[in-house]
Amino acid sequence: MKRMVATKSLMLLLLTLMMLAVAACGQDQAGSDQQQQTEANGEKGTVTVGGKDFTEQHLLSKITSIYLKEKGYDVKEASNMGSSVVRSALENGQIDMYWEYTGTALVIYQKQAVETDPDVAYEKVKEKDKENNLAWLNKANFNNTYAILMRQDKAEELGIKSITDLANYVNANPTALKFASNAEFYARQDGIKGLEKHYGFTFPAENVVKMDSGLLYNALKEKQVDVSVGFATDGRIEGFNLVALEDDKNFFPAYNGAPVVRQEVIDKYPEIADLLNQIADRLDTETMMKLNYSVDVEHKDVAEVAREWLVSQQLIE
């Protein structure tokens, strides 16, 4: 009995230590942010940069924050929010700017029709958001749209380059390929159902495996499935030797990233528009994939990757 108590308390101690260790890791993260905070002298004014809850967004908000700090602004960071949360925060003035995607703003916030042409989509959201006193700055040249992915070797072996090729192949061999999808893409009208209709083919239901978004790439890499949906700028596409099939009949909407800033803030600090456009003009799909790759596949620190990129672009010393 005595020993039981001793062991129990030992276990408790171990658990506590583990929790402390985990907490400490979190602290480290905060610590490195703190360090950058001190570099700022904040002589020009204070701005708050927001961000959503996935790697690409962490990178974009970090790049923006570091750059503005170097240019003499005092920057507060509010990252890791869900899409609708970050948008509300901007509308309420709790944050001053963040990076949004044209397709998301068009369909989700403005309830307009889906648009596959990047320029048209951008003009539409820019125009509509003027009513909300939100300024869309330059559209960056990266498009984080849905992508249909395959393993490079498998795609080559079957001679599949575009979604049309895939549709033809599936029509000829209905049960040959397994398809992985997340819950959302499977259920949405502009998801798998729309895609099948647009390209004129159907994946048999028993050949579709549904899973969490984060596992799609691994399932494909591990040959559990042959085709998967994914996101076009994800670093794991390159990291796992996957290939995104060409959307030759333009089914997927455009999701170009662009900084969105409250008009009030632009009026107060006109320079900020120029600064953010400097960043937006230098980003494209390939760059975004590389940066995501550094974080998702090589497990580098977001702040470090962001800073290195800014230095490589000669935006900061």
Partner 1 sequence: MRSKHVERVIRALLFLLVIAFFAWAYVSGAFQFILDNPDDLIYLTQQHLKLVGLSSLFAVIVAVPLGILVTRPRFKKYDWIAINLANIGQTVPSLAILALVMTYLGIGYVTAVFALWLYSLLPILRNTIAGIENINKSIIDAGQGMGMTESQILWKLELPNALFAILAGIRTSIVINVGTAALAFLIGGGGLGDLIFTGISLYDTGIMLAGALPVTVLAITLDFVLGKLEKWIIPKGLQRNLESL
Is position 107 an interface residue for partner 1 (rule: CB under 8 A)? no
Length of the chain: 317
Smaller CB distance to partner 1: residue 16 or 35?
Answer: 16
Tell me the C-alpha distance between 232 and 257, whole Å: 12
Number of residues that bind partner 1 (CB under 8 A): 22
Smaller CB distance to partner 1: residue 67 or 217?
Answer: 217
Are the beta carbons of 258 and 138 closer than 8 angstroms?
yes
Q: Restricting to residues 3-22, which ones interact with partner 1 according to CB under 8 A? A: 3-4, 7-8, 11, 15
Is position 85 an interface residue for partner 1 (rule: CB under 8 A)? no
Would the CA dihedral through 253, 50, 90, 272 be positive or negative? negative
Are the beta carbons of 154 and 243 closer than 8 angstroms?
no
Is position 240 an interface residue for partner 1 (rule: CB under 8 A)? no
Tell me the C-alpha distance between 315 and 197, whole Å: 46
Are the beta carbons of 194 and 112 closer than 8 angstroms?
no
Q: Return the HEC string of 146-171.
A: EEEEEEHHHHHHHCCCEHHHHHHHHH
> Which residue in the set 48, 55, 61, 182 belongs to the binding site for partner 1 (CB under 8 A)?
182
Is position 211 an interface residue for partner 1 (rule: CB under 8 A)? yes
Is position 212 an interface residue for partner 1 (rule: CB under 8 A)? yes
Smaller CB distance to partner 1: residue 180 or 288?
Answer: 180
Is position 184 an interface residue for partner 1 (rule: CB under 8 A)? yes
Is position 89 an interface residue for partner 1 (rule: CB under 8 A)? no
**Nearest distance in Å: CB 212, partner 1:** 4
Q: Return the HEC string of 253-276.
A: CCCEEEEEEEHHHHHHCCHHHHHH
Is position 256 an interface residue for partner 1 (rule: CB under 8 A)? no
> Which residue in the set 224, 277, 278, 313 belongs to the binding site for partner 1 (CB under 8 A)?
224
Is position 273 an interface residue for partner 1 (rule: CB under 8 A)? no
> Which residue in the set 107, 150, 160, 180 belongs to the binding site for partner 1 (CB under 8 A)?
180
Considering only the stretches 1-9, 61-69, 165-173, 248-256, report the one whose residues sit in contact with partner 1 under the rule CB under 8 A: 1-9
Tell me the C-alpha distance between 198 and 200, whole Å: 6
Considering only the stretches 141-149, 176-184, 234-242, 245-253, report the one whose residues sit in contact with partner 1 under the rule CB under 8 A: 176-184
Smaller CB distance to partner 1: residue 38 or 189?
Answer: 189
Is position 315 an interface residue for partner 1 (rule: CB under 8 A)? no
**Nearest distance in Å: CB 214, partner 1:** 9
Is position 175 an interface residue for partner 1 (rule: CB under 8 A)? no
**Nearest distance in Å: CB 91, partner 1:** 18
Binding site for partner 1 (CB under 8 A): 3-4, 7-8, 11, 15, 180, 182-184, 186-188, 209-212, 215, 218-219, 222, 224
